[in-house]
Amino acid sequence: MWEPQGVDIATDQSLASAVPFPDEFRTFEDGDVLLHRSEAHVVVLGERAHRPLAVHHPTQDVATRGIRQRMEDQVAHRVAFSIIYNHLVVDNHAEPALSSATGETPDMFDVLSAERVLAIQPHYDDNDIAAGGTLCRLARRGAHVVYLTVTDDLLGVIDAGIDDATATAQLRAEQHRAGAIIGVAEHRWLNWPDAGGLDHVVLRDQITEVIRDTRPDLVITCDPWLRNEAHQDHVRTGFAALEAVLLSELPRHPAAGAPHAPTAVGIVYSNDPNAVIDTSGVQIERHAALDCYRAQFDATGLTALHDAIDRHERTQAPPDATHGEALRVMNPGALHCAVRPAVLGDRVTVFGSDQ
Ligand SMILES: [Zn+2]
């Protein structure tokens, strides 16, 4: 059942010496890195399929059996693992769709090489909460960064005593202040009612038009497959944005503007990351931007947000870094019918073997 896949990741000795690793297996959370240094094993599991993406066992079969048993135990408890270091990517970030399968895995798009970025968020603070450091680094490297906010975000305003116009003015002012810190070149809004239901096709076509107009090489949005996500603004924004990425290059799509095909998508708020950006050098900007968001956080909430984000990003920092932002980088071709050959083993019923 557990077949090795992917690259020979255990040859990277720098990783073995750089990544902290617990002495014993424990219950892992999504996004945790699992590197068993003493057994010279690297194990990478994908949470969606509850199976390893790579298992390297160069020396000890006994230990391998042990690791498999422990992995199966973890999977039985529906606990997921993933490994997120850029240089260890073995995931299906760029797997080709069946129709264009070549047997080769294209190189992962270098997120920080993007020149034009469209970051599509359900609410006014999602881009900065999920990827403020990454977006700041992109802007500092000269990328043209556009934020597209899908909802009016009025439901989340904590002061029930102000009218919608006043609340909207505060939200916009805060967003502009944060954007100036991050380096956002332009803000756009679609003004759907916050938590009021999003029509998939209408929203998708609105986003398609923005993609054609802004012509990003990198589109960033939230993960519509995030397990336990109950907020439909996030689920629907993710689906609409990712389908818009697929459709925006089709000349017969009626959205205004010339067809355009983004090079890559970066999916944030994901339990299935395959890349991490070193954001150690932009922590001041990253947290200063968050500090702007007062309409929806009181002082206690804002402190808790800073603390949670700091803890989160320290946990997933790459080697030699203090902070990292993880995301899932995908070739748009992997967003449609991207089926990989399955190792079926003995868990399937075979028909037609008698010919
Ligand atoms: Zn949100």
- Ligand 1 centre to CA of 186 (Å) is 19
Ligand 1 being an ion, which residues bring their Cβ within 5 A of it?
122-123, 126
Domains and CATH numbers, the chain: 9-99+109-335 (3.40.50.10320)
SS3 labels along 230-288: CCHHHHHHHHHHHHHHHHCCCCCCCCCCCCCCCCEEEEECCCCCCEEEECHHHHHHHHH
User: What confidence score (pLDDT) does residue 106 get?
Assistant: 55
- Ligand 1 centre to CA of 158 (Å) is 14
User: What confidence score (pLDDT) does residue 354 get?
Assistant: 86
- Ligand 1 centre to CA of 151 (Å) is 9
- Ligand 1 centre to CA of 290 (Å) is 13
- Ligand 1 centre to CA of 231 (Å) is 8
User: What confidence score (pLDDT) does residue 97 get?
Assistant: 36
Cross-sheet strand order for the sheet of 116-121: 186-192, 144-151, 116-121, 218-222, 264-268, 324-330, 275-278
User: What confidence score (pLDDT) does residue 308 get?
Assistant: 95
Q: Residue type for 343, please?
A: V
- Ligand 1 centre to CA of 113 (Å) is 26
Classify 28 as helix, strand or coil.
coil
- Residue 256's Cβ-count burial label (10 Å; 0-12, 13-18, 19+) is exposed
- Ligand 1 centre to CA of 352 (Å) is 50
Please list the ranges in the chain whose pLDDT falls under 70.
Answer: 1-106
User: What confidence score (pLDDT) does residue 349 get?
Assistant: 86
- Ligand 1 centre to CA of 235 (Å) is 10
Phi/psi at 179 (nearest 5 deg)? -65, -35
Residue 282, number of CB atoms within 10 A of its CB:
25
What angle (nearest 5°) sits at the alpha carbon of residue 117, between those of residues 115 and 123? 160
- Ligand 1 centre to CA of 146 (Å) is 17
- Ligand 1 centre to CA of 239 (Å) is 14
Please state, in angstroms and rounded to a whole number, the distance separating the CA atoms of residues 34 and 52. Answer: 11
> How big is the chain by its Cα radius of gyration, in Å?
21
- Ligand 1 centre to CA of 339 (Å) is 30
- Ligand 1 centre to CA of 305 (Å) is 13
- Ligand 1 centre to CA of 127 (Å) is 9
User: What confidence score (pLDDT) does residue 61 get?
Assistant: 35
Measure CA 349 to chain center.
Answer: 36
Q: What b/e string do you get for 2-11 counting C-beta neighbours within 10 Å, with b at 16 or more? A: beebbeebbe
